[in-house]
């Protein structure tokens, strides 16, 4: 249909179609944003869990290292005192 020969009804119909498409596009955009937000939240939760696991592992490693160093010194110091002594 040629725009020069379009009636007011034709123009209203096109306007309604365009408006419906814009509404549908806005709804789809909102749905995509919601899905992205959910994925971001899930990723943040997983990242927080991994950080907590690394923190916990690091704490265990430090405690074990301090314990091993203390045990070593508990043996070496008396031995050194005995040998010097």
Q: What was the pLDDT predicted at 3? A: 64
Dihedral of CA 17/21/27/28: which sign?
positive
pTM of the predicted protein model: 0.59
Q: What is the spatial distance between Cα 48 and Cα 56, in angstroms, rounded to a whole number? A: 12
The per-residue pLDDT string of the chain (85 residues; one tens digit each, 9 = 90 and over) reads 556 677 888 889 999 999 999 999 999 999 999 999 999 999 999 999 999 999 999 999 999 999 999 999 999 999 989 889 7
Answer yes or no: are the C-beta atoms of 10 and 1 closer than 8 Å. Answer: yes
């Amino acid at each position: 249909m040629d725009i020069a020969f379009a009636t007011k009804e034709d123009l209203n119909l096109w306007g309604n179609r365009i408006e419906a498409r814009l509404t549908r596009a806005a709804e789809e955009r909102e749905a995509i944003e919601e899905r992205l937000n959910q994925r971001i939240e899930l990723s943040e939760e997983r990242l927080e869990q991994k950080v907590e696991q690394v923190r916990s592992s690091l704490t265990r490693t430090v405690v074990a290292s301090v314990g091993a160093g203390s045990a070593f010194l508990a043996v070496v110091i008396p031995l050194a005192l005995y040998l010097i002594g």
